[in-house]
Amino acid sequence: MNFESNISNRVSIAIAIAILPVVAVIVAMEWWEALFIPVGLFAVWVTLYRIDWAMWFVVIATPLSISLKDLTGGAGLSIPTEPMLVLITALTLVKMMFFKEYDKRLVKHPISIAIYLYLIWMFLTVITSELPMVSIKQWITRVWFIVPYYFVLGHLFLKDEKNKVRFLWLFLIPLIIACSYTIIIHSQYGFTKKTSTWVMFPLFKEHTSYGAVLAMFYPAALYLTFRKSSWGFNAIASFLLLLLTAAVVLSYTRAAWLSILGAGLVYVAYVLKISKTTVWSLAGIVVLIAAFNFSVINSKFEKNTTDSSDDFNEHVASVTNVSTDASNLERINRWKCALRMYQTRPVFGHGPGTYMFLYAPYQKPSEKTIISTNAGNRGNAHSEYLSPLAESGALGLITFLYIIVQIIITATSSYKKLPSLRAQALLRVAFLGLITYYLHGFLNNFLDMDKASAPFWGFTAMIAVLSIRSDSFRKAA
């Protein structure tokens, strides 16, 4: 894509000329709130003239973005990222649809086709939604996350091989800044589990989304630490990894710990060179054993009365406590509500983004917990899989799972065809990062947030681009 057309240049010059007198007037009249006007004009100028700069700015800003809803109770936009994402999305779609400026290899990639199907079905369920305004907002938000974080980043990855590593650094460094802020605030309260749920505010809403993003980028931090590079870069990466490890532990996010462990097991399978057939066979055997012994396992879970606490051993043990742990019980309550919502509207669902507003009547008094609410203000379905099932019906879940299946197929089939060990390492980083979220998705859902969407769709784009490179290498050979 060529983002420096004559039209863009003329508009860019006009905007640049307009900024200085606007700033002068604002300063003279002391209308300090109006400073957002030249900032906005500058953002438009950068996006029109150098969309790559704009995209890198968004990547850097994402871990540090702040939701206006959390701070002011107003619109749920994340500042400064989402306004920029809207601009990038609009310009990219115009370039693709009217000027045919796109890379056909990425646009026609199987992962991209899976994304189209997902968005198309999601849009159809917007039309049938019980809350159309909520659903259309949810769909548009999903589009302005996918277009920049997947298609624009994918274009940058295709344009320059070094951009893949740049993406890792440019997201990881501000993420560590967010971690440092959280650890400093947390230290003032003695690193207790009780305070760990909110000390990352306002950079993250709470500890589960914080933990999910940390887990996704943990493989990247490991890669940057141990890859062959200059001593200085390795030293910096080692320091960042140390801080990230501390942040993961102090987040008290059990789902993040388990997801990193799951990704580690996948990596062990790679190191031991276990075949895909063996891996899937073992996974199938585990599922069958669990299914046949469900009553026994469930009975043991119900007998577990270890609640989450400051003690890490007890906190880990509380993962299977479904008798007294309020967090676990509330999560099960939300899952059951999602399933009941699906049963009432199995085809089209209730509409994207509507779960939190509609699930309350589907709760049973016997399943409510001390943290249950009818107000729709304490999260959603707590599952990246049950949420689309309730909101977009069976096909909503199937189309989302189809994206994951295509990613797994692409990653596993492309790995050995890649032309270098460096490319293989990058594919492992992206795939293991996504594995952490696929596992995390059983317990939470955060793809309506920029902070989770950036690594999720960014790693997906990296896998798609690496598969394109592997195909090109194979054909050249």
pLDDT digits (tens, 9 = 90+) for 132-183: 999 999 999 999 999 999 999 999 999 999 999 999 999 999 999 999 999 9
CB distance 205 to 446 below 8 Å: no
Residue % of the chain over a pLDDT of 90: 60
This prediction's pTM: 0.88
Q: How many residues does the chain have?
A: 477
Residue 288 lies in a domain: yes
**Number of domains comprising the chain:** 1
Residues 6+ apart with CB under 8 A from 297: 290
Q: Over 50: is that where the pLDDT of 477 sits?
A: no
Name the region of 321 (left: φ>0; alpha: ψ -120 to 50; beta: rest).
beta
Residue 162 lies in a domain: no
Residue 163 lies in a domain: no
| b/e sequence 269-283, b meaning 16+ C-beta within 10 Å | eeeeeeeeeeeeeee
Residue 47 lies in a domain: no
Tell me what pLDDT residue 3 has: 44
Angle, to 10 degrees, between the axis of helix 6-29 and the axis of helix 36-49? 170
The predicted-structure confidence for 414-443, as pLDDT tens digits, reads as follows 988 898 999 999 999 999 999 999 999 998
Tell me what pLDDT residue 312 has: 59
CB distance 231 to 473 below 8 Å: no
Q: Over 70: is that where the pLDDT of 271 sits?
A: yes
Q: Which band of pLDDT confidence, cut at 50, 70 and 90, is reported for residue 101?
A: confident
Mean residue pLDDT across the chain: 85
Q: Which of residues 471 and 332 earns the better pLDDT score?
A: 332
Q: Over 60: is that where the pLDDT of 240 sits?
A: yes
Range of the domain at 353: 280-367
DSSP type of residue 321: -
Residue 301 lies in a domain: yes
Q: Which of residues 367 and 300 earns the better pLDDT score?
A: 367
Residue 402 lies in a domain: no
Residue 284 lies in a domain: yes
Phi, psi of 375 (to 5 degrees): -85, -10
DSSP type of residue 381: -
Residue 356 lies in a domain: yes
Q: Which of 83-97, 111-125, 198-212, 300-314 has the lowest mean pLDDT?
A: 300-314
Residue % of the chain over a pLDDT of 70: 80
CB distance 51 to 91 below 8 Å: yes
Distance (Å, rounded) from C-alpha 88 to C-alpha 46? 10
Q: Which of 219-233, 282-296, 358-372 has the lowest mean pLDDT?
A: 282-296
Compute, in degrees rounded to 10, the torsion defined by CA atoms 182, 186, 187, 193: -140
Q: Over 70: is that where the pLDDT of 72 sits?
A: no
Q: Which of 135-139, 282-286, 293-297 has the lowest mean pLDDT?
A: 293-297
